[in-house]
Structure 1
Amino acid sequence: MCILNEFKEKFKVNEYKIYESEHWIWSLRPHQATIGAGILSLKRECPTFSELKPEEYADLNNIIKVIEPVLMKAFNYDVINYLMLMMFDKHVHYHVFPRYETPIEILDKTWKDENWPAIPPLMGEALLNDEMVSIMELIKSKI
């Protein structure tokens, strides 16, 4: 299996896709370290950031201009962290973590950003598929 397919399978990119642009896909992160945590991944297989094409860099700007206001409408975050780690998953992607100074009430649950203001917990909480779909639908409703 190619790296891109393994990546998409691991992060359930197609199942939890929120939005896509010409070159990027924004999907909900299967483990919610903070409510609304996502994955922003390049559509084509690409192992290093330096291999991005100029049009992919330009489109990264376009999709970020969708992500930030949509997450603000959905969750009223305090700040967003974009983490490009690529330690295990050798494909260009960012982990997108909306951050919250105080707990928030969403979908009949209290969500607390446990590590605020330090680095978010990378593992996060595995949620039931129904919970993931509810979060995804909430975010999509703000696009």
Structure 2
Amino acid sequence: MNETIEKFGHPATLVADYHYWVVLLRPAQPTLGSLVLAAKSDATAFAALPPPAFVELARVVSDVEGALRDAVAFARINYLMLMMVDPNVHFHVIPRYEGERCAAGLTIADTGWPKMPVLGDAVELDAGQIETAVEWLKGYWPKA
């Protein structure tokens, strides 16, 4: 796994593993169910990914959106490709909703709704909360 994936807590945060991608629970949750969708490649430019990674991305995005729709009933979903501090190709996946959502022992409000997500208001999860939230999200993931 590349440095960016490790920084976001892999393997403890691993929700789903694909050939070219991993889906990780975002340890800092601006909204409940926030994820990191990261390429396994060492690429630091989106265009540098191998063509099959783009093909697989369609399935991964479908799985992400289906699982999060069921888990948190989002109204919108934001994919943020920031790559300023963490250089490898990755997206922050932020499910958006009005008010708050409760699950896995967490209650998290979307403080930016209906505007941009407020990443600075994220709830920092401890190891126990990460473990519980990962298992909760895996329960919504499509079976391979």
- What is the TM-score of this pair, normalised by structure 2? 0.90
Consecutive unaligned residues of structure 2, counting only runs of 5 or more, are: none
Write out per-residue CA displacement over residues 75-97 of structure 1, whole angstroms, 9 at most, x where no aligned residue: 11111100001111111000000
Aligned residues: 140
Identity of aligned pairs, percent? Answer: 34
- What is the CA–CA distance in structure 2 between the aligned matches of 1:42 and 1:31, rounded to whole Å? 19
| CA-atom RMSD in angstroms | 1.4
2:29 equivalent in structure 1: 32
2:126 equivalent in structure 1: 128
Q: Given that residues 28 and 38 in structure 1 are in contact (C-alpha distance below 8 angstroms), is that contact kept between their aligned partners in structure 2?
A: yes
Code of the residue aligned with 1:121 in structure 2: it is V
Are 1:117 and 2:104 matched, yes or no?
Answer: no
Counterparts of residues 64-83 of structure 1 (less than 5 Å)? 64-83=61-80
1:98 equivalent in structure 2: 95
Code of the residue aligned with 1:137 in structure 2: it is E
Instruction: Using the TM superposition, give the Cα deviation of residue 31 of structure 1 relative to its aligned residue in structure 2, in angstroms.
Output: 0.6
Of residues 51, 54, 57 in structure 1, which corresponds to 2:51? Answer: 54
Write out per-residue CA displacement over residues 47-86 of structure 1, whole angstroms, 9 at most, x where no aligned residue: 1011122111111111111110011111111111000011
Q: Given that residues 13 and 28 in structure 1 are in contact (C-alpha distance below 8 angstroms), is that contact kept between their aligned partners in structure 2?
A: no
Write out per-residue CA displacement over residues 12-33 of structure 1, whole angstroms, 9 at most, x where no aligned residue: 1321100011110000011111
Instruction: Using the TM superposition, give the Cα deviation of residue 108 of structure 1 relative to its aligned residue in structure 2, in angstroms.
Output: 4.3
Instruction: Using the TM superposition, give the Cα deviation of residue 106 of structure 1 relative to its aligned residue in structure 2, in angstroms.
Output: 2.0
Consecutive unaligned residues of structure 1, counting only runs of 5 or more, are: none
Are 1:15 and 2:12 matched, yes or no?
Answer: yes
- What is the CA–CA distance in structure 1 between the aligned matches of 2:90 and 2:74, rounded to whole Å? 21
Code of the residue aligned with 1:84 in structure 2: it is M
Q: Given that residues 102 and 108 in structure 2 are in contact (C-alpha distance below 8 angstroms), is that contact kept between their aligned partners in structure 1?
A: yes
Instruction: Using the TM superposition, give the Cα deviation of residue 141 of structure 1 relative to its aligned residue in structure 2, in angstroms.
Output: 0.7
- What is the CA–CA distance in structure 1 between the aligned matches of 2:15 and 2:106, rounded to whole Å? 21
User: Partner of 2:117: helix, strand, or coil?
Assistant: coil
